[in-house]
Amino acid sequence: MKKRPKFFCEHCGTEVRQNSRVCTHCGRFFASVKCPNCGFTGDSHAFKDGCPTCGYAFPKDGENGSAPQKNKKKRKPNETDPLPWWIYVVSLGLLALVVALIIMNG
């Protein structure tokens, strides 16, 4: 039987489904998948057989299958995750709509 890669929330380490967009444990939004071995970032479909860059797919036999901690960087207290690009587009669109309504009614 072929092993399938496991996917984990980078924020809390909980295992999540490959196509998840939000962590069911901490609520963190996933914009993309990041390989814990080489750092390559891409869509989850690119990782269906493991990392397309380095081939990393799952922990070696004997490891417990939890989120890899190998290359985990410590976060600075003021460091935040970037929002997906579409959040900025929607926000700017709503702002433009509000300004247009104010100008038309004022």
3-state secondary structure of 42: strand
Q: What does the pLDDT look like over 22-63, one tens digit per residue?
A: 888 888 887 778 888 888 888 877 877 788 888 887 655 544
Greater model confidence, 74 or 101: 101
- Given this model, what pLDDT does residue 29 score? 84
DSSP 1: -
Q: What does the pLDDT look like over 11-30, one tens digit per residue?
A: 788 888 877 888 888 888 87
Greater model confidence, 98 or 74: 98
Read off the pLDDT band of 82 (50, 70, 90): confident
Q: For the whole model, what pTM was predicted? A: 0.44
Q: How far apart are CA 23 and CA 16, in angstroms?
A: 7
* Burial letters 6-40, b for 16+ CB under 10 A, else e: bbbbbeeebebeeebeebeeeeeebeebbbbbeeb
Q: Sign of torsion, CA 12 25 86 33? A: positive
